[in-house]
Amino acid sequence: MAIYNYEVVVGDILVLSTGDQVAADGIYIHGNSLTIDESSLTGESEPVHPSADKPFILSGTMVQYGEGRMLVTAVGMNTEWGNLMAKLSEGGHRETPLQVRLNGVATVVGKIGLAFALVTFLVLIIRFLIIRFEEGFDNWKTEYILEIVNYFATAVTILVVAVPEGLPLAVTLSLAYAMKQMMKDNALVRNLSACETMGSATCICSDKTGTLTTNHMTVVKVCSAGYVGAADTLGSKVSEESKALLIETIFMNTSGDIAEHGSHSQALGSPTECAILELGLSLGGNFRKVRSAHRIIRSEPFSSETKRMLTLATLENGRFRSYCKGASEIVLNMCEYKLDGENKIAPLEREEKLQLENVINTFAREALRTLCIAYIDLDDAPVDEEELPKKGLTLVAIVGIKDPVRPGVKEAVSLCFKAGIKVRMVTGDNLETASAIARECNILTEDGIAVEGPAFRNWTPVEMGQNVHRIQVIARSSPADKLKLVEYLKSQDEVVSVTGDGTNDAPALHESDIGLAMGIAGTEVAKASADIVILDDNFTTIVNVAMWGRSVYTNIQKFVQFQLTVNLVALVINFVSACITGEAPLTAVQLLWVNLIMDTLGALALATEPPYKALMEKPPVGRKGNFITNIMWRNILGQAVYQLIVLWVLQFRGKEILHLNGTDADTVLKTMIFNVFVFLQVFNEINSRDMEKLNVFSTMFTNKVFVLVMLFTVVFQVIIVEFLGMFADTVPLSLIHWVINILIGFVSIFVAFIIKFIPVPSKPFTEFLPWNKRNEEGTEYSPLPSSDLV
């Protein structure tokens, strides 16, 4: 009786046939060549053959071939699919490591700015009251109220300048620019903050199939007619007769097909069938011609019980030929003859069989999946119920099939290790195959360990703590293993990136700091759970994403260094001047223009700096790294000291040094102080392009946005000084004054050059604070008791 999917209950027996979608989790009862496609759930393209040893069938999968019956054991949210969906709904919005750091920086800077603004206002009011008290309050004037209002405006302006409201703009601009550029590198960013989070990544937990490998099975080695070696050279090493026989046995005994697209032929079928068919095509075979020359009488498809495929066909001479293909250890034992180098059939001696077994073992150690191809000629065709012969076969070839490593993966993995990013392979393959591929990709090193999923999930907390950081390969893993690994690494303050393509990878993608889904092989559920979609399924693209993430992080650091320098100088110069002279050297309008320079324009200029390879030569920042480094503090304080000295000298000795006389001397001096201050920031913005290298002009002119921002700032500064005097409290300056102002600003380039020779401690300065110092045993004092991992 046919019922709807939602009417299925536990205990029902479902009849499965080709094309059905499994509606519930269940246990295989019996069937005929039942083949299940689990790619929508696991992302693996190799079909599954349920049997008594592997009886579980999962909901959401498709019946690719055959028919069978299963006992329903779970429905709805209790199925594997339902559990995955429930895990995806857990958790909420999490702040990225950079957001946490920026929130701390913004809070501290804002509080300091507020304190300076209040103190400045109080100092100005106290000075005003002292002066008024000396003059007496009897002659109170209306102008005094305006003076107090100006004091308040100055304090508010200091607060506005101090508060880093340009920080969100810089972050957004940098992320948006990186997002647009990453699209050109085959990375589609779904979550904007993932751009910078990838820059802090300390480890990548990667799939094998389709990410590290091509997800295209290929015959790479062959043993046939006395030849043992690469499949590419097989055609030139064996006779034409041997080659024709191998082509015939390949094309006649297959469940796949060949689609002709003009001059191009495409193999269709399972990955293994496609690999063998492509070998036949590479040898010059014509699929349609071979199949038309023979008539297939009977076929026994591959099953997990027999582990072989048999096909009976007619020959042109009226005889019959039974073709056999299957697991090497089974088919080789069925063979009593071999095909020698002269295309002659010779008995297969015991010593020769041992040599062939060594060939199979050698292929297996190289992570190759081995298959034997054989045949037997018959005078009469077996009757319908009679089994096809399973003895006396002639061995034609042993093939080694492999999913090759993608080009560039080895170099990309090596670059990750050089950058301090640990790469771990988490795969469903067996331990031998996974380890071999990991070694080929340079993932598995001498000090690393490879472990199987069942052993990993049974580790105690102590074993987990001892071994998890040495894990480089987890084979035979389940989705729960990948999720457990991610959760533990995050508990150890690692910033974890996870790749996945199957629906069962969705919880790990969702839980990780950066989820990377495969754009080609990935399911829609995996893509929806990911932060970034890798459009070409290539691990090299993931490394490019990490480099862009580090570029975003570094660009924001550059902007913060530039902004904090302006903040520090503006706050100190106004505060000290207010305390000494009773007025600020920079007016509210001038400070707001400076604020525009350091916020909007500074963010636009520094946030669009492109990445460079040297970024991948530094260790990752991680989750606990300091955002403002010692190098940044050195640059900030060095430039701030130079700028403060220049501005104070101009303010208190400017008239004598510049020989300013006349009634407008004070106005000219204030204009020059404002002009010098702006040009100091312009050249300091150039200094901020690189926090460590001496040559800050390298590739500057290739960044058109940066050059345009610099030109706009300089041109508009000229307009403000020369033409907007009434608005900005400035007067036009002479050519010599302009030259002096620009030269003073340009000197900051040399100051930065000298500052970069000053060594800085490798440890962040916060570690030298009393509550962060280490005791004699090397452990850190902590206000909170440590607890064991549970």
Please give the positions annotated as active site: 207
Contact present, 535 and 519 (Cβ < 8 Å): yes
Q: How far apart are CA 165 and CA 150, in angstroms?
A: 23
Q: How far apart are CA 468 and CA 456, in angstroms?
A: 9
DSSP code for 731: -
User: Smallest Cα–Cα separation from 500: which of 492, 485, 491, 490?
Assistant: 485
Q: How far apart are CA 456 and CA 434, in angstroms?
A: 15
DSSP code for 357: H
Give the gyration radius of the chain's Cα atoms: 37
Q: How far apart are CA 226 and CA 284, in angstroms?
A: 20
Q: How far apart are CA 469 and CA 490, in angstroms?
A: 12
Distance of CA 771 to the CA centre of its chain: 36
Helix, coil or strand: residue 341: coil
Task: Specify the DSSP element, H or E, that contains 527.
Answer: helix 524-529
> Which residues contact residue 314 at a Cβ distance below 8 angstroms, ignoring those fewer than 6 apart?
294, 295, 297, 320, 321
Strand order in the sheet with 56-57: 13-17, 62-74, 25-37, 56-57
Angle between helices 665-687 and 630-658 (to 10 degrees): 150
Contact present, 105 and 164 (Cβ < 8 Å): yes
517 - beta bridge partners? 500, 533
Q: How far apart are CA 94 and CA 507, in angstroms?
A: 15
Contact present, 505 and 526 (Cβ < 8 Å): yes
Q: Which tokens go with 138? A: 């009897």
User: Smallest Cα–Cα separation from 752: which of 586, 573, 568, 565?
Assistant: 565
Helix, coil or strand: residue 769: coil
Q: Which tokens go with 242? A: 């041997």
573 C-beta neighbours (distance < 10 Å), count: 21
Q: What amino acid is encoded at 480 in this protein?
A: A
288 C-beta neighbours (distance < 10 Å), count: 11
Helix/strand number for the chain, H first, E second: 27, 23
Which residue's entry shows tokens 């000053």?
A: 758
26 - beta bridge partners? 57, 72
> Phi and psi at residue 259, in whole multiples of 5°?
-100, 130
User: Smallest Cα–Cα separation from 254: which of 373, 337, 369?
Assistant: 373
Helix, coil or strand: residue 739: helix
DSSP code for 599: I
User: Smallest Cα–Cα separation from 505: which of 478, 535, 485?
Assistant: 478
Q: How far apart are CA 312 and CA 293, in angstroms?
A: 14
Q: What amino acid is encoded at 117 in this protein?
A: A
Task: Specify the DSSP element, H or E, that contains 496.
Answer: strand 496-500
**What is the largest distance, in Å, between two alpha-carbon atoms of the chain?**
133
> Alpha helices of 581-662 — where are they, by DSSP H?
588-596, 602-606, 630-658
C-alpha angle 443/446/449, rounded to 5°?
A: 70
> Alpha helices of 13-165 — where are they, by DSSP H?
39-42, 80-88, 97-135, 142-162
C-alpha angle 519/522/524, rounded to 5°?
A: 95
